[in-house]
Amino acid sequence: MCLVLPKLRILFNVGKTNRKGEVSNEVFTSIFTYGGGVEHSPRLGFDGFTKLYRHPELVSGSTTVKNLITWSPGHLITSQKFAFTLAEVLVSLAIIGVVAAMTIPTLMVNINSRQWSTAATVFERKLDEAMKNMNTLQTVSGHKTTLSFVEELSKHFKTSKICNNDDIQSCFSSTVMWGAGTATPEEVDMSKITQAKHFGLDWGTELIGVQFANGVSGVVAYNPKCSGDPLSNQFKGSSCISMLYDVSANKDPNTSGKDLKNYGVINKLAGSSCAFEIDGTCFGTPFVPNSYHTWNACKDDYTSDDPEDQAYMQKYGLNYCYPGNDYFAKAAETCGGTSKMAQMSDLATIANYIFGTTEIGEYTENSGLTIAVDPSTLGFYEVLRALSIWSGEESTSYNYKINHRSFSMGRASSSFDSTGTGTTFRYSIADYNYAVCLGD
């Protein structure tokens, strides 16, 4: 501590005090500065200190320094104390409240979005495993109804409740918001969603409600034309079923692109066929073409003289075939023809929307971009830092290829920062290859 008096500065360290806060004679180690001179004192008692240092200018009479010092922090600290006024405290609290009100909602949205995405990834991984087990046991195909399939699925993926076609609301939300990415998502009455055709699928089967033991609830449609291959490790369950599922156990917001997800193809939901809408163009739910079409007699020049093959090509607007697993043909069939698939101009529209720009052209290469809209909110999920979207346009240079648009991340980037176009094989398939149908 430091006590400042005229011409006398006393700097001392206090080892301890008694219970009354008084300093004993034995605990001073002092350095005294007097009139510009400095003298170092050994451990002097308080009495020794008063005998050595008395100065007539300090006080009059016989008063000593000892008489002037009372061991009290209030006496030794001579600087002025400062404090905040009540008004300053209230203003500070108001500012903190405003900042919290602005940042906490955004923070919670980001946290919820991350939790929903993680829950969806885990759920679909487990569902894929169950479907692969069924494929290995040859129980994934041959079902004539969705109910028959779901009952078999429950043997491989634990369920807590199965709801019949006329009581789906006992397992699933009564209303949902369908149309993520649009300004005003459409509210859909799920009591009217009872058939596969209400998913935009021509399967002729009913919808069944399911509550899984992990808290996820869903509405399932089964494709009776599903064909398994017990010897294949490439089997995808989404080629046999379509499911609208809710990872938040029917709690709000029940909105597609948020807690509401789809497994497999859902082209529309009742009266709405738009999963998202951009600049007036209606797009269906993006899907990975996991199943393929097998041609009867496709030749090496990628044409066929077989009447059935030709009829199929004419029906779905295909110019070529592929003598093997033709995934592109199946994607065209799913959308109802190549003309009902997103074209290269439509993919440019999607790219401009994702990156928040208007500079991306139909066949341009663009880099150094910044994500404006998370692609996952539209139904596109990156895998291995890449994303590819097929168009409905077959390549005129290579008959076994189709035109597509790709999105990629730089090495130091955690999100897409470039997009380009090119051609890709119609017979190859990967988890990051998507197709998207045009809505009504």
Q: Tell me: the pLDDT tens digits for 309-365?
A: 999 999 999 999 998 889 999 999 989 999 999 999 999 999 999 999 999 999 999
Q: Identify which of 307, 260, 303 has the alpha carbon closest to the alpha carbon of residue 285.
A: 260
Residues 6+ apart with CB under 8 A from 85: none
Q: Tell me: the pLDDT tens digits for 218-259?
A: 999 999 988 888 887 777 788 899 999 999 877 888 888 888
What's the count of helices (H) and strands (E) in the chain, helices before strands?
8, 20
Return the sign of the alpha-carbon dihedral for residues 296, 302, 308, 314.
positive
How many Cα atoms within 13 Å fall on the side-chain side of residue 292? 18
**Token pair listed for 276:** 């998202």
Q: Tell me: the pLDDT tens digits for 28-76?
A: 444 444 444 444 444 444 444 444 444 444 444 444 444 444 444 444 4
Bridge partners of 40, per DSSP, are 31
- Residue found under tokens 């988890």: 431
Range in 14-23, 260-269, 363-372, 412-421 the model is least confident about: 14-23
The string of DSSP codes covering 263-291 is ES----BTTB--SEEETTEEE---B----
Question: Model's pTM, two decimal places?
Answer: 0.48
Q: Identify which of 325, 320, 324, 327 has the alpha carbon closest to the alpha carbon of residue 304.
A: 320
How far is residue 218's CA from residue 155's CA, in Å, rounded to a whole number?
17
In the predicted structure, residue 376 carries a pLDDT above the cut 70: yes
Is residue 284 within 8 A of residue 439, CB to CB? The reply is yes
Range in 17-26, 133-142, 334-343 the model is least confident about: 17-26
How far is residue 216's CA from residue 262's CA, in Å, rounded to a whole number?
12
